[in-house]
Amino acid sequence: MGRELRYGMNPHQAADLISGGPTVLNGDASLINYLDALNAFALASEAEALTGRAAAASFKHVSPAGAAVAGRIDETTAETCGVAEMSEDTPLSAYLRARDADPKSSFGDVVALSRPVDLQTAMFLRTVICDAVIAPGFEPGALAQLRRKKSGRFLVFEAHSIAQLPVRERRDVLGVTIEQDRDAADLAAALPADPPLDAGTRMDALLGMVVSRYTQSNSVALIKDGTTIGIGAGQQNRVDCIRLAGAKARVWWLRRHPCVRGLPEVPGMQRQDRLNWQMRFAGREMTRGQLDDFGRQFGSEARALYDEADWRETWLEGLNGVTLVSDGSLPFRDNVEHAAEAGVATIIEPGGSLRTNDVVNAALEHGITHVQTGLRLFHH
We find that the CATH architecture of domain 3-161 is: 3-Layer(aba) Sandwich (3.40)
The whole-model pTM stands at 0.95
Q: Which residues in the chain show pLDDT less than 70?
A: 1
Rounded to whole angstroms, the Cα distance separating 352 from 373 reads 9
Give me the pLDDT at residue 166, please: 87
Angle, CA 205 vertex, CA 185 and CA 242 arms, to 5°: 105
Rounded to whole angstroms, the Cα distance separating 379 from 49 reads 20
Give me the pLDDT at residue 97, please: 97
Q: Give per-residue burial for 13-29: e unless 16+ CB within 10 Å, then b.
A: eebeeeeebbebebbeb
Domain limits, the chain = 3-161, 183-380
Rounded to whole angstroms, the Cα distance separating 31 from 5 reads 7
Please name which of 133, 7, 164, 147 lies closest in space to residue 59, comparing C-alpha atoms.
Answer: 133
- Tell me the one-letter amino acid at 182: R
Q: Give per-residue burial for 139-161: e unless 16+ CB within 10 Å, then b.
A: eeebbebbbebbeeebbbbbbee
Q: Evaluate whether 3-161 and 183-380 have a shared fold.
A: yes
Query: CA distances (Å), 196 to each of 108, 193, 200, 205, in order?
Result: 40, 5, 12, 12
Asked if 102 and 231 count as a contact pair (C-beta separation under 8 A), the reply is yes
> Whole-number mean pLDDT of the chain?
95
Please name which of 81, 371, 100 lies closest in space to residue 226, comparing C-alpha atoms.
Answer: 100
Angle, CA 235 vertex, CA 312 and CA 352 arms, to 5°: 100
User: 278: part of which helix (H) or strand (E)?
Assistant: helix 271-283
What are φ and ψ of residue 207, in 5° steps?
-60, -45
The residues carrying an active-site annotation are: 60-61, 218, 380
Q: How crowded is residue 128: how many other Cβ atoms within 10 Å of its Cβ?
A: 20
We find that the CATH architecture of domain 183-380 is: 3-Layer(aba) Sandwich (3.40)
Query: CA distances (Å), 115 to each of 38, 127, 134, 252, 288, in order?
Result: 15, 20, 10, 26, 45
Q: Over the Cα atoms of the chain, what is R_g?
A: 21
Rounded to whole angstroms, the Cα distance separating 216 from 305 reads 37
Rounded to whole angstroms, the Cα distance separating 373 from 344 reads 18
Give me the pLDDT at residue 1, please: 55
Asked if 216 and 64 count as a contact pair (C-beta separation under 8 A), the reply is no
